[in-house]
Structure 1
């Protein structure tokens, strides 16, 4: 149908797919010989996969405060992921063209998590 927007992906699914992309990026960095890239890759992988793990934990939060806390941790991990991606970019360990889609997705995840946290706080 023309003019209909595609339904946005659930943040749980989106963060899972993001983690899969992080794994692929990490694997490709590990194939190289740049030891700094290996270290950055490991840091990025930990932060990127932690986003979804914390979102999943938030789903069974014991209270709204617990939900907000877990989602806030996910948001912090997303911000950390963005930091590592920018280091990859500025150090030229990974080509900018390869990183741009991940950087954009990370920024969108941060925005979504920020909106979820804000809305949940308002509805307390």
Structure 2
């Protein structure tokens, strides 16, 4: 899962770079801060999941990653609405966020199945 650690980190950096390019105004500030927080939280919590103390802890941390990735998608959708709709960078970030979300959801499902097997 080293690849996912790198992908979540790269995603957070790329979101930060997008925010850096945005116009500096009070209107953008809240959304930029939220995108930077949730995109970096997704990566940080994924890393934490790799050091989980139990299966339940692992699943809980992945659920946080799922939530933060979804929040990132929402923020990107907001930017897509107010910035140039042809902005390829936002589309690429949304694509990556959706892929990360799908991977995390699949990991959660697998972890639940493995946990159920272990409890039998």
- Same fold, TM-score > 0.5, yes or no: yes
- Deviation of 1:35 after TM superposition, in Å, equals 2.3
Is 1:26 aligned to residue 19 of structure 2?
Answer: yes
- Residues paired across the two proteins, number: 115
**Structure 1 position 121 matched with structure 2 position 107:** no
CA distance in 2, matches of 1:95, 1:85: 13
What does residue range 1-124 of structure 1 map to in structure 2 within 5 Å? Answer: 10-29=3-22, 32-92=23-83, 96-124=87-115
Separation in 2 of the partners of 1:17 and 1:94?
A: 23
More helix by percentage = 2
SS in 2 for 1:123: helix
Deviations 1:32-72 (A, max 9, x none): 23321122111110000000100111111110000000011
Match of 1:106, SS? helix
**TM-score, L = length of structure 1:** 0.85
SS of the counterpart of 1:33?
coil
Structure 2: stretches of 5+ with no match in the other structure:
116-120
